[in-house]
Amino acid sequence: MASLKQENSKLQGSLVLLQGSHDKATHENKLLKRLVTHQHEKQNQAHVELEAARKYKEEAQDAITKMEQMILQLRYHLQTQQTPMTDMGGFHRHSDVY
C-alpha cells in the first residue's frame, strides 16, 4: 500500500510537470498564431501598397510620355512659326503675317 501511495505521489508530480509544460506550449501556440496572423496582415498591406505604387508608376510614365510628345509638338510648332518664309519678291515674312 505504501509503495502504491509513493507511486501515486510520483505520478501526481509528473502530472503537474506535464500540465505545466502543456500550458506553456498552449500559451506559446496562441502567441505564434497571433504573430502569424499579424505577419500575414502586414504582408497583405505591403502587397496592396506595392500594387498601388506600380499603378502610380505606370500612370506617371504615361503622363511623362504624353508630355514628351506634347513638347515635341510644341517645338515643331514653334520652329515652324519662327522660320521666316520668303514670298515671290524675295522678302522675308513671318508665318503670322497674312
Instruction: Dump pLDDT digits (tens) for 60-75.
Output: 999 999 999 999 999 9
CA 80 vs CA 45, 75, 84, 96: distances in Å = 52, 9, 8, 10
- Under 8 Å between Cβ of 25 and 32: no
| pLDDT band, very low/low/confident/very high, at 90 (cuts 50, 70, 90) | low
C-alpha cell at 13: 508530480
